[in-house]
Amino acid sequence: MSRLQAEGLYKVFGRRPGEAVKKLESGSDRDELRAEGTTAAVIDASFSVEPGQIFVVMGLSGSGKSTLLRMLNGLLDPTAGRVLFDGQDLTALSPKDLRDVRAKKISMVFQHFALFPHRSVLENAAYGLEVQGVPRAEREKRAHEALEMAGLKGWEKSWPDELSGGMQQRVGLARALATDADLLLMDESFSALDPLIRRDMQDQLLSLQKTLKKTIVFITHDLNEAMRLGDNIAVMRDGRIVQLGTAEDILVTPANDYVASFTQDVDRSRVLTAGAIMAEPHTAIGTQDESGKELRTPQDVIAAAPATVSADTPIIELFTPCSTSAVPVAVTDAKGSLIGVVPRSRLLAVLGEPMEPTVPGLAGDTEAGQQDAKNVKAGRQDAKNVKKVSAGA
C-alpha cells in the first residue's frame, strides 16, 4: 500500500470555491476564474508516494506546489479531493486528531529554517519531541542522535545565530529526524542556501535516506535538484501536474514543450543511467568485434565490450569506452547476465547536439564518431518532418 496518496485535490481561493471546482471540471481554465475574482491554486492533483521514496514536486513560483504541500499535512483544507496517509483520510479527521498526526507522524522542514533564536541547537532539535510530551531525558537523547546524523555533533550548546545558513538548515533537518516521523515534508528546504552548501545538503539528505529510508515529499523550483533527489517527480504548471514520472522519463520523453524547455539545460550525463538508455541485448548479436569476429552469444558481447557496467551507472561514465570502441558497452545485472547494450549512436542521440564541446572524442575524433553524429542529426530531421506531416503542416 502507498504511504501517501493525493486523490483529485483542488484548492480554490476566493468566492464560491465549490462552484469554481465544478467549472474547472467542466473545462474552464484558470484565467477565466481569475477574471471572476477566484484563484485556482491546485487543480485535480493526484499521485501516490511509496514507503521510503523521495517524491519531488517541481514548478516555478505560482505553480501551486507549496499550496499542494500544505494540503498534504492538513495546514490547508482542500476545496475538493482527499489525502490518504497509511490509508487514513486526513481530510476527514477532527482538528485534534489531525494535530496528533502532525505531531507524531509528519515532520516539516522549512525554507528559512524556522529556528527559535532563544533556544540552543539541542533545544531546537528537541522541540518536536517537546510538543509530543516526550520526557526531557529521552528527547535530549534523541535530539543528540539526530544532530549527530545531521553532522552537528559538538554544536549542541550553540545558538542559531552562531551557525552558518547550511548548519542552521541541518538543525531543522535534525529536528524533523528526532521525531522519527514517518513522513517528511520539505518545502524549498535548500533554496536559501549558497550553491555549494546546497549541494552538500543534498548529499546529506541522500546519505541519510540510504539508512533511514524515510518517505519524503520535497518541493523545489530547481529541476537539477529535482533530478538529483527524486525517485519520482511531479512537474507543476498553473496549478496542474503536467507530468509525473522518474527523472529519466522527464528527460527522455517530456510530456509537452513546457517540460521540454525545463530539461534543455539539465546535465543529462549525470542524471541518466545506462539502464535508461540501453538497447535490447539482441541488437548486438550478429555484429562484429574490433577484429572482425562475429558476436554470436551474450557472452561474446560481454567479452568484446569496451566496458561492462550496471544499469544504474551514470552515462557520463560511458563516454570514454564509447569513444574508444565501435562495440557497444555491455550492461549486466547482479548475476553478470547481459541485460542491454549502449552503442555509441544511442549515447549521442540521448545527449543531443552539439557533441564536440561536451564530449571530446565521441563525435569528432574518429570517422565512426563523425558518421554516428551525422546519423543522429539525420534521424532527428526525419522525426521533425514526420511530425510536420502528422500535424498537417
Residue type, 254: P
**Tens-place pLDDT, residues 77-108:** 999 999 999 999 999 999 999 988 888 899 88
Q: What is the rounded CA–CA span in Å between residue 299 and residue 301? A: 5
Give percent above pLDDT 70 in the chain. Answer: 89
Total-model pTM: 0.77
Residue type, 299: Q
Contact 10, 42 (CB under 8 A): yes
Lowest mean pLDDT of 92-101, 111-120, 334-343, name the range.
111-120
> Span 346-351, mean pLDDT?
84
Domain borders along the chain are: 48-266, 274-389
Q: What's the pLDDT band for 352 if we cut at 50, 70, 90?
A: low
275, 228, 229, 233: which is closest to 250 by C-alpha? 233
Give percent above pLDDT 90 in the chain. Answer: 53
Instruction: Name the one residue in this structure whose C-alpha cell is 535516506.
Output: 209
> Span 314-338, mean pLDDT?
92
**Tens-place pLDDT, residues 135-146:** 999 999 999 999
Reply yes or no on whether the pLDDT at 354 is more than 60.
no
Q: What's the pLDDT band for 244 if we cut at 50, 70, 90?
A: very high
The architecture of the domain spanning 48-266 is: 3-Layer(aba) Sandwich (3.40)
Which residues 6+ apart lie within 8 Å of 136 measured at CB?
A: none
**Tens-place pLDDT, residues 167-222:** 998 998 999 899 888 899 999 888 878 888 888 888 889 988 988 899 999 999 98
